Structure formats: C-alpha cells, structure tokens
Structure 1
Amino acid sequence: MAKKYSYWLATGKFSLLQKITNIVLGLLTFMLLARLLAKGEFGVWGLFIIISSMVETTRFALIRNAYIVFKKTKPEKDIPATEFASLSVNITFSLLLCIVFFFLGVYVEGWFKDAAGLSSILTFYAGALLLLIFYSQCEIFFYSQTNFKAVFWMYFLRNGSFALAVCILFFGFHYADIKTLALLYTISIVPGCLVAAYFISKYKKIVYKWDKKIFREYFSFGKYVLGNNFFSLVFVNSDAFMTARSISAGVSTSYNIGSRILNFGDIPSQVFGDIMFPRAAEIVKTGANEDVKRIYEKTVAATLCFLIPFVFFGILLADVAVYILGGQGYLGAANIVRVMLLYSLFLPFIKQFGNIMDVKGRPQVNFWLMFCFAGISITSTYLCITWLGDIGAAVGLLMAYILLFGVSQYILYRFIGVSTIAVFKYIFTLYPEFFKLFKNFYAKKFAR
C-alpha cells in the first residue's frame, strides 16, 4: 500500500506542509488584524489581499504552466530557450503591473465603495512586484523539479516574517495602519528571496538562450493561461468584489472570512493539483487519453474524500469558526459562510479541468470558458445582491459554480471520455485505502 502511493506521499508531503503553514500563518494575521483594524480599514486590507493574490496567482500560472509543459515535452536542446522565454515574460508582465498599480491605483480605489487608502497600498505593492520577479522565477524552477521543500521554506520565511511583524504590532503597539502593513508586506518578501537563492545555488547554473520560435510558442501558450487564471479569479472572487462594489468594502469582510475558511478545504485540491500537473504532462507525451482520464478522475476523487467531511462539519460549526476568526462583530457572516462552503465541492472538478486542458495543449478552451463564466458570475452575484442583500453574492456565485461544473464535465467527457460517475466510484474505493494507509502509518510510527 505504502509503495503504491510512494510517489504521491514523497512528493506531496512538503507541498501539503506549505499549504497548511501558508493558511495557518494567514489565519493568524487575519485574526489579529480583524481585532486591530477598524471594520472599514479591515475591508480595504481584505480587498488588497484579494487583488495581490490575483496578481501573484495569474503571474505564477502565466510562467509556470508553460514552463513545466515545455520542460516535460520539449527536447533537451530547447530547455535554455524555455528558460529565457519564462524569465523575459515574467519581467515584462511584472513591469507592466508596476506601472498599472503606481499610476492607476486611484482608479481601482474609486471603483469600490468606501475603500479609502487602497491606492496607497497598491503603490507600495508596485515595488513588491519587482522583488517577486526573482521569487517567482525560482518558485517555478523548483516546481518543475518537484522540489517542494524549497518552495515550503520560501513561503514559510516570507509569510512567517509578515505574521511576526503583525504580532509585534498587535501585542507591542496595539495599533497598525494599512500603509504600515503594506510596507511590511513588501519587506517580508526579502527573506523568501534569500532562501530561494540558497536552494537554487545547489543546482547547476541555468543556461539562457534566445529562440524566436520557442518564445512565440511560450507566449502564445502563456497568454491563454494568464487570461484563464485572471478570469478564474474574477469568477471566484466575484462575491467579495460585487459586495464591495454594490454595498461597501466593510461588508465584503464577511466574504473574506468565508474565503479563509474555504482555504482549508482547498488544501487537498492544491496539493493533488501540484503533484498531478507535472505527472500529467509526462503522460501526455505517450498520447494516452485513457491515462489522462484516469489521473483526472482519481485526483478529483482523492480531493473529495477530504472535502466532503470538511464541508459537512464546516456547515455545522460555521458560527464557531466565524467567532474564532473575526470575533463577535462578524457573527452575522455565519450563514454566508455556510453557502460559500458548498463552493468547495465543485472546485476540484473545475481546477483539474484547467490543468488537463493545459497539459493537453488546449489552454484556449479553458480561457474562453472562464471568460464567459466571469461575466456570468458578476451578473448572477449582482442580481442576487439586489434581491437578497448581503448573502445574495454567495447564492449567485453558487449558482454559477453549479453551471460551470456541468459545462466543464461535458467538455471533458467529449474530449477524453471523463466520467463524473467514475469519480464518485473512486471515492468509495479510496476511503478504505486511505484508512489502511493511515493505519499502517500509525502502526509504523506510534505502535509498540
């Protein structure tokens, strides 16, 4: 049993550890800032976290997916050209975003209601994006090598530094403002860069080479992945954005609390996705659709094995979770969180759909799908806010998730023969296997 899953266990343990520590440190800072900042300021900070997460996720996807696919599928002689293409795209994208945030941050602030101070934070973040060029380039290299240990330490020192700074402000000064937080957020990237430099020095020197053909292929692939991830994040965050737009930034805090809770449920999906993507890219080389189909179904099923109990207990204990995270003043968010937890059940299907489209060389399919559904989610959340008030955005986005799930499953069925029924069959077979795996692990580590 252990041998059967040795690849997944060996590869996934540091990825899992990274996701858990990221979320725990994020929750710690969230809980302290919820009690340190006024509700309006906290709402503005929440909007910044969403925007910065969107930027870093889209930039990472832009360079990572093409980088891994090219390194796994291209001949050895094209690797230097792939390295050059990824670095040049990274630098160009980052510089463009610096210009946007530095000069147009005031317009971003004006789009939301009661979001004073957001433009100042985005000005600081423009500087942070320059540091993140080196950080993200090292990160994709480690992903391609499945060196999740290096990625873990990069994020641990970066997020740990910021969490430590917030703890000092909370316990030492009992005061913080969002400009100071933005500066600390930027400085905290430096420790992550230092540990990245340490780990990358252990590899042989990376060679860069200009190749027009590879660059054009890389950019062509990456532009669809970039657009897909951007519109995916618009889709996922449309509840918080439309609440901040239609009601106020302070009210959108309820959705930030829900997102923090959902992050726990998303850990299995992220971990299995990190492991599956390079593996699927290798399998595609053989052209065996049946193998790609099987890895998709098993990855989604394995993720749901953890998600189903998480959603069940999350709905039961939503009031307790909201109280712990935000305090007494945010208890009204519990029902919103209950609706948001239902999103989690569709995320594994949709996320792995995107990965399969990318490794099969069809990122444009995912791009156009998410482009359409970004518009659908914005429309449905806006209409439901108008009809239902604060909770309307959650209801509207859930409706969009259900529709997206149906469309993506139909496409996968037509494309590689994926069966949604097979996913649920795998769930019933995986539960006993996970139990045996845990039992063997416990016997080996703790039994005498």
Structure 2
Amino acid sequence: MEVKSKDHYWIKSGIINVLQNFSGVFFGFAGFYILVRVLSKQDFGVWTLFMSATTILEAIRSGLIQNALVKYLSSAEKSEHPVIISASTVISILVTGVSIIAIIAFAPYLSSVWESPQLINLLYIYILVFACSGILTQFNAVEQANLKFNGIFINNLIRQSSFFGFVLVCYLADFQVKLVYLVWVQLCSVAVSTIVAYGFVRENLKFSFSMDKPWLGKLFGYGKYSFGTSVSSLLSGTVDQMMLGALLSPAASGAFNIAVRITNLIDIPGNAIAVVVFPQSSRRMEEEGKGAIKYLYEKSVGTTLALVLPGVLFLYFFSDFVIHFIAGEKYVDSIPLLHVTLLYCLLIPYGRQFGTILDSIGKTRVTFLVVVGTTVINLGLNYLLIVKYGVMGAAYATLISNVVGFIVAQAILKREVDVSLWNTIIYLFRFYPEFFEKYIIPVWKRRQGRVDHSQK
C-alpha cells in the first residue's frame, strides 16, 4: 500500500510539474514568437535585457526564501509550521524592501550602460510586480512543501496565459505593442495569480505572532547559500546576454536570446523532475540515508536525458528550418548559436540535479561555491571571447564553463554520495524499453482486447 502511495505521488506530481513546465515554456515561447515579429530588433533586445535583470531579482528573493522554506516545512512537524512560515515571511519582506531600493538606485545606471532610456520606466513600474510576486512565491513554497502542486500549476497557468493572451490580441488587432504595456500586463496577471494561489494554500498558511530567532537563523543560514547558488546559476545563464548588450548592442543580445529560448523548449522535463525530487530527497535523506540519494540522482538524470535527447537531435539537424520558422529571416545569425547552445543542453540535467541533491543533504555551501566558480569562469570567458569572436564568443564561453562545472560537480558527487556517471547512461538507455513495456504495451493490449471483444 505504501509503495502504491509513493508511486501515486511520483506519477501525479510528475505529470502536474511536466504540464506546468510545458505550459510555461509554451506560453513563454508563443509570446516570444509574436514579440519577435511585432517589436523591432532594438526593442526586442531591450525587452530581453529587462527580463534578464528582473529574473535575477526574482532569483535573489526565491533563493533566500523558497528552498529553505520547502526544505524545513517538508521535514518538520506540523506544530512547527506556523513559526517557520512566519520567520520566512519576515525574511521575504526584508529582501523585497532591499531589492526595491536596489531597483531605484541602479535603474538609471543600467539604462545608461545598455543605451536604453526606456528601461528606467520599465524597472520602476516593475517594483509593483516584484512586491506582488513576493507574496505569490511564499504561497507556492508552502504548497510545494506540503507535496501539493495543483495550485502552483493553476496560478502559473493564469499568469503566463494572460500575458500571452494580451500579446496575441495586440498582434491580431494590429495594435502597436509598447514595452511599458507589457509590464502593466505582468502586474495584472501576477495580482490575479496571487489571489488564486491563496485559495489553494490558505489551509496550510498559518502564522505565529511570536518571532522565533533560531528559525530565522536556520532559514537565513540555509537560504544564503541557496540564494548565492540561484543567483550565480542564473547569472551564468544570462551574463552572456547582458555582456552582449553592453559590449555589442541590445540587438546582439536579442539574437542570442532566440537560441537560448529554443533550447529551453527541451528543458521542460529537467525542471519538472527537479521540483518533484527536492522535497522527496529531503525526506528520504532523513529516513534512508545517502544510498537513496544516490539512486535519486542517477535515476532522475538518466530519465531527464532520455526525455531531452530526441529534442536535442531534432533541433540540431533541423536548426535552419526551426530558426526560420520561429524567428524569421532577420534572425538567421542565430543558427550557429543554436548549434553550440544545444551541446551544453546535455549537461544541464547533471548540473540541475547536482544542486537539488546537495541542497537536500544540507551541502548548500558546496553548491554555492561550485556555481559561483562556474559563473566567474563564464564571466571572464564571455568578456574575452565576445571581444574576439563577437556573438559566437558568448556561446563558446558558456559551453566551456558548463563543461568545467560538470567535471567539478561529478567529482564532488562521487565523494559525497558515490554517484556513478555510468549509471546515469544506463538509466538513459533503460528508459525507452521500460517506458514501452509499462505504458505502450498495456495500452496496445487493452485496445486489442476491445477490438477482439467487439468482433465477437
């Protein structure tokens, strides 16, 4: 009975998170598909830089708050939940306040560096979005910690589909899309999503009016490394676009962003599996020890690779067609960029699950140092190679830094939980016959049985 319950959790949670990530990538990609057609190369580049900056701000708060809250709520007694949630909320309010001050202070500087005067206004309006999304982040973390994902899926769907809906209507009605309108739509969508999220989480959202300093210390102590990891990881993925905007032009940043967005399409399984693995690995570490963590890492990486490999091969061999179909003739320079970004896509599952597993066993400081080191290497290589090779230099720099990070991460995982790189390859190739045997054959037999029955 317990085994069936665990299987039910993995199947249900996995399906919900795959759907959530698919919907996120789909709506994000569909919106991007329209934006590259209705915006000039300059405006699209400015929007890319704006999204890079605001995504980092969200990652700063999420890194400090979300993983720590999920970890401790998922493993603590119910009686401690109000104290943990209250302490986390205090930290969230403080981080949000500091981040808003940073936006006000640095918006003019970023606008000057990227030669984008309209960026100041966009960032100032985004302050309202950021304040509202902080509440939403808390609600989603509490729900995830309680191993529930329905509300997260629905409120994310609302947030993403409403933004896409606005862009689509503007495109069909031939209405001029201004960047400032897009930020106001973000505010409306996140406000509605927050209200919906509250309806799902209110039963588990309990606060304590007495402040517990030990829990504040615990959450911040764990969160500071998780925060550093999240921000460094995100910087590693966006620093190339930011440096292209500063060293070349916003248009160059936009061209590189197209290759990155296409590769994001095949990263849906990795995101979904990471969300499911994290709360489970925290519990299983407490109950079963490092042996269970080793299996979780190898199995999750192998499964993710099996799911992304067909997409990588398709995009690599049909990249010309894909770029022309998605972005049009004016972004033909994104084709060689896509070839390089696809190569490091195969390393992403290893890196993502490395962070998930080490965070769950309390080694957040190690994850932090690895990611920071990789980001520093990426930053240095981007500067050197962009100056020498232009836009392609950004792709080469990111590929090299990902290879270095992969080698270091595997050495650490071997030492900590004795993972085997070879086992991930075994699980990769086992996935296809197992999937066929467990899901395709039973469906075929049921259909065959219905056919035989109807003939009788």
Which TM bucket (shorter chain)? Answer: over 0.9
Q: What is the one-letter code of the residue matched to 1:411?
A: I
Partner of 1:286: 287
Instruction: Trace 1:107-126 onto structure 2 (pairs within 5 A).
Output: 107-112=109-114, 114-126=115-127
| Counterpart residue number, 1:100 | 102
Partner of 1:412: 413
C-alpha offsets along residues 167-203 of structure 1, whole Å, 9 cap, x if unaligned?
A: 22222243111112222222221221121122224x2
1:174 & 1:315 partners in 2: Cα distance?
A: 35
Equivalent residue letter for 1:158: R
The whole-number CA distance in structure 1 between the counterparts of 2:321 and 2:186 is 29
Aligned residues: percent identity? 27
1:391-446 CA distance string (max 9 Å, x none) = 11101110110011000000111111111111112212222112223304644886
State the secondary structure of the residue aligned to 1:231: helix
Q: Distance in 2 between matches of 1:353 and 1:255?
A: 26
Task: Find out whether 1:211 has 2:209 as its counterpart.
Answer: no
Deviation at 1:246, TM superposition (A): 1.2
Distance 2:122 2:446 in 1: 47
SS at structure 2 position matched to 1:250: helix
Distance of aligned partners of 1:423 and 1:204 in 2 relative to their CA distance in 1, 3 Å threshold: closer
Structure 1 residue 5: deviation in Å? 4.6
State the 1:79 CA deviation. 2.0
Q: Distance in 1 between matches of 2:79 and 2:144?
A: 20
The C-alpha deviation readout for 1:63-95, integer Å capped at 9, x for no partner, is 221112112333444322211121111111112
1:170 aligns with 2:181: no
The amino acid across from 1:338 in the alignment is H
Aligned length: 445
What are the equivalent positions in structure 2 for 1:92-241 lying under 5 Å apart? Answer: 92-112=94-114, 114-201=115-202, 203=203, 206-208=206-208, 209-241=210-242
The answer for the alignment partner of 1:311 in structure 2 is 312
- Say if 2:50 is the partner of 1:40: no
- Of residues 39, 52, 76, the one that matches 1:50 is 52
| Distance in structure 1 (CA, Å) of the matches to 2:371 and 2:391 | 25
Structure 1 365/197 Cα, relative in aligned 2: closer, same or farther at 3 Å? same
Q: CA deviation at 1:146?
A: 2.4
- The offset of 1:204, in angstroms, is 5.1
Q: CA separation in 1, counterparts of 2:81 and 2:187?
A: 32
Cα pair 1:98 1:127 within 8 Å, conserved: no
Q: Is the 8 A contact 1:99 1:126 kept in 2?
A: no
C-alpha distance in structure 1 between counterparts of 2:375 and 2:215, whole Å: 31
**For residues 279 and 389 of structure 2, what CA distance do their matches in structure 1 show?**
43
Give the 3 Å change call, closer, same or farther, for CA 204–141 of structure 1 in structure 2. Answer: closer
**Which stretches in structure 2 are left out of the alignment for 5+ residues?**
451-456
The answer (yes or no) to whether the contact 1:384–1:396 under 8 Å persists in 2 is yes
Shift of 1:343: 1.6
State yes or no: 1:341 paired with 2:347.
Answer: no
Q: What is the rounded CA distance, in whole Å, between the counterparts of 1:179 and 1:312 in structure 2? A: 38
Distance in 2, matches of 1:446 and 1:171, equals 42
**Matches of 2:382 and 2:155 in 1, distance apart?**
36
- The letter for the 1-side match of 2:88 is S
Could you tell which deviates more after superposition, 227-236 or 384-393? 384-393
* In structure 2, C-alpha distance between the alignment counterparts of 1:78 and 1:199, rounded to whole Å: 20
Q: Distance in 1 between matches of 2:442 and 2:29?
A: 29
- Which stretch shifts more, 191-200 or 261-270? 191-200
Partner Cα distance (1:271, 1:9) in 2: 12
What TM-score results when the alignment is normalised by the length of structure 1?
Answer: 0.95
AA of the residue aligned to 2:70 = I
Unaligned runs of 5+ in 1: none
Rate the CA distance shift 1:369–1:24 in 2: closer, same or farther, 3 A: same
* Alpha-carbon distance, 1:109 to partner: 2.1
Q: CA deviation at 1:101?
A: 1.2
Measured in 1, the distance between the counterparts of 2:294 and 2:274 equals 14
Question: Is the alpha carbon distance of 1:49 and 1:204 closer, same or farther for their aligned partners in structure 2, counting shifts above 3 Å?
Answer: closer
Q: Is the contact between residue 63 and residue 224 of structure 2 (CA under 8 Å) also seen in structure 1?
A: no
Deviation of 1:285 after TM superposition, in Å, equals 0.6
Identify if the C-alpha distance between structure 1 residues 270 and 446 changes in structure 2 by more than 3 Å, giving closer, same or farther. farther
Deviation at 1:302, TM superposition (A): 0.5
Contact 2:71 2:145 in 1 (8 A): no
SS in 2 for 1:286: helix
Alpha-carbon distance in structure 1 between the residues aligned to 2:443 and 2:371: 43
1:86 counterpart letter in structure 2: S
Counterpart in the other structure of 2:269: 268
Using a 3 Å threshold, how does the CA distance of structure 1 residues 105 and 157 change in structure 2: closer, same or farther? Answer: same
Helix, strand or coil: the match of 2:225? helix
CA contact (8 A) 1:78 1:214 kept: no
What is the letter of the counterpart of residue 139 of structure 2? C
Deviation at 1:299, TM superposition (A): 0.5
Name the CA distance, whole Å, in 2 between partners of 1:204 and 1:244: 44
Measured against aligned partners, the alpha-carbon deviations of 1:331-385 in whole angstroms (never above 9, x if no partner) come to 2211101111112111111111111111111111111111121110011122222
Letter in 2 for 1:28: A
User: How far apart are 1:38 and its partner, in Å?
Assistant: 1.0
Paired amino acid for 1:298: K
> Is it true that 1:368 corresponds to 2:369 in the alignment?
yes
Query: Using the alignment, how far apart are the partners of 1:398 and 1:389 within structure 2?
Result: 15
What is the alpha-carbon distance in structure 2 between the residues aligned to residue 14 and residue 198 of structure 1? Answer: 18
How big is each residue's C-alpha offset from its partner over 1:197-254, in whole Å with a ceiling of 9 and x where there is no partner? 22224x2551324211111111111011111110111111222122112111111112
CA distances 1:242-281 after superposition (whole Å, capped 9, x unpaired)? 2112111111112211121122111111111111111100
Aligned to 1:423: 424
